[in-house]
């Protein structure tokens, strides 16, 4: 039997059942205060349990456990939101990618992790970067990690790819003094013959805190992707899931699959994978 009743209703009927010291021959009296839709779902279940010899207290326990399952299902539903980009997004029903990203960044209190393939240099995205740099400079964010592919200069890296990418990043992408930990695919630096890209698109706010959230999307961190392309993603508000994604990127760095660009000033927390808000 598929019960679709809310947990609150199931718990209310369970409370009424616990007040009984006998097994009724009819459930109309117990359920008369509830709607017909509730009665149609619950009465067949209660009748079946009586036929199996169940006491009202056992029925109450079952309804409480069903209510627990409904609560868990609702928490899971509330933890996920569909996020969409496009020239004509359905804002009334679906969250917009750019608005979601901007909100994640503005609400972050400890840390940010941004992963993208193409890194946007339009005015809107430079304003986002500037706001992050300002918050880093004023201690409002402890750490920012940025994983990207230098698409704009990928065909002219020269003999020293690390120096070329670092110079371009520090001049054209992030000219502000407060820098993120910026990473690129190690294979680009080593001169691999493979065509290799950092292609994941992710934003994580406040990893390893009770407020951790993550957006996993097909949209790059660019105006074209978040304003014009049709792109789709999921925003998850369950901290353990956001932490799982964050830890995966930590492991990639620890394994040497991503390398950090030159150009950051020394800081007290020299471990690139230890979040400074820990503890």
144 part of a folded domain? yes
18 and 152 in a single domain? The answer is no
137 and 169: one domain?
yes
Residue 170 lies in a domain: yes
- pLDDT (0 to 100) of residue 126: 92
65 and 85 inside one domain? no
- Using only C-alpha atoms, what is the Rg of the chain? 26
Residue 261, classified by CB atoms within 10 Å of its CB into exposed (0-12), middle (13-18) or buried (19+), is buried
The whole-number pLDDT of residue 107 equals 95
Nearest to 187 by CA among 216, 150, 218, 220: 150
Predicted pLDDT of residue 177: 95
**E strands along 71-163, which residues?**
80-85, 95-96, 111-115, 143-147
Residue 271 belongs to a domain: no
Q: Give a yes or no: residue 216 inside a domain.
A: yes
Domain membership of residue 268 (yes or no) is: no
Per the CB < 8 A criterion, the answer to whether 147 and 198 are in contact is yes
pLDDT at 97: 92
- My answer on whether 102 and 162 are in the same domain is yes
- Structural domain range at position 161: 81-260
Residue 160 DSSP SS3: coil
Do 131 and 176 have their domain in common?
A: yes
pTM, rounded to two decimals: 0.78
Query: How many alpha carbons lie under 13 Å from residue 52 in its C-beta half-sphere?
Result: 10
Q: Which letter does DSSP use for residue 79 in this model?
A: T
Do 112 and 189 fall into the same domain? yes
CA atoms within 13 Å, Cβ hemisphere of 26: 3
pLDDT at 72: 86
Domain identity same for 42 and 125: no
* Same domain flag for 56 and 124: no
Q: Are residues 128 and 205 in the same domain?
A: yes
Q: Is the dihedral of CA 149, 154, 160, 163 positive or negative?
A: negative
pLDDT at 28: 87
- For residue 264, the model assigns a pLDDT of 67
Residue 116 lies in a domain: yes
pLDDT the model gives residue 93: 61
**154 and 216 part of one domain:** yes
Q: What is the pLDDT along the chain (279 residues), one digit of tens a residue?
A: 567 899 999 999 999 999 998 998 889 889 988 899 899 999 999 999 999 999 999 999 999 999 999 988 888 887 889 998 887 655 556 678 999 999 999 999 999 999 999 999 999 999 999 999 999 999 999 999 999 999 999 999 999 999 999 999 999 999 999 999 999 999 999 887 777 789 999 999 999 999 999 999 999 999 899 988 999 999 999 999 999 999 999 999 999 999 999 876 544 343 444 444 443
Domain co-membership, 70 together with 147: no
Classify residue 70: in a domain, yes or no. Answer: yes
Other C-beta atoms lying within 10 Å of the C-beta of residue 113: 25
The last residue of one of the domains, among 54, 77, 100, is 77
Q: Which of 77, 97, 126 is the last residue of a domain?
A: 77
End-to-end CA distance of the chain: 47
Residues 253 and 163 in one domain: yes
The total domain count for the chain is 2
Distance CA 207, CA 272 (A): 14
Domain boundary among 77, 98, 125: 77
CATH number of 143's domain:
3.30.870.10
User: What's the pLDDT score for residue 160?
Assistant: 94
Instruction: Residue 256: count other Cβ atoms within 10 Å of its Cβ.
Output: 8
Residue 1 lies in a domain: no
């Amino acid at each position: 039997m598929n019960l679709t009743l809310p947990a609150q209703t199931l718990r209310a009927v369970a409370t009424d059942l616990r007040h009984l010291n006998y097994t009724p021959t009819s459930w109309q009296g117990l359920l008369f205060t509830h709607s017909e839709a509730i009665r149609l779902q619950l009465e067949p279940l209660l009748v079946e349990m009586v036929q199996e010899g169940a006491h009202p207290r056992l029925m109450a326990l079952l309804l409480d456990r069903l209510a627990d399952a409904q609560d868990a299902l609702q928490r899971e539903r509330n933890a996920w939101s569909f996020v969409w980009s496009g020239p004509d997004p359905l804002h009334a029903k679906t969250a917009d990618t750019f608005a979601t990203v901007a909100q994640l960044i503005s609400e972050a209190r400890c840390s940010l992790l941004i992963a993208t393939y193409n890194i946007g240099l339009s005015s809107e995205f430079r304003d986002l970067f500037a706001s992050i740099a300002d918050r880093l400079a004023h201690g409002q964010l402890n750490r920012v990690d940025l994983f990207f592919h230098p698409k704009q200069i990928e065909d002219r890296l020269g003999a020293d790819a690390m120096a070329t990418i670092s110079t371009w990043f520090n001049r054209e992408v992030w000219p502000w003094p407060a820098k993120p930990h910026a990473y690129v695919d190690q294979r680009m630096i080593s001169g691999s013959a493979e065509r290799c890209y950092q292609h994941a698109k992710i934003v994580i706010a406040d990893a390893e805190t009770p407020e951790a959230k993550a957006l996993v999307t097909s949209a790059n961190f660019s105006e074209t992707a978040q304003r014009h392309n049709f792109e789709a993603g999921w925003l998850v508000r369950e901290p353990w899931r956001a932490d799982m994604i964050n830890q995966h990127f930590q492991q990639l760095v620890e394994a040497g699959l991503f390398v950090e660009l030159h150009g950051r000033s020394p800081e007290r927390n020299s471990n690139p994978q230890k979040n400074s808000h820990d503890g």
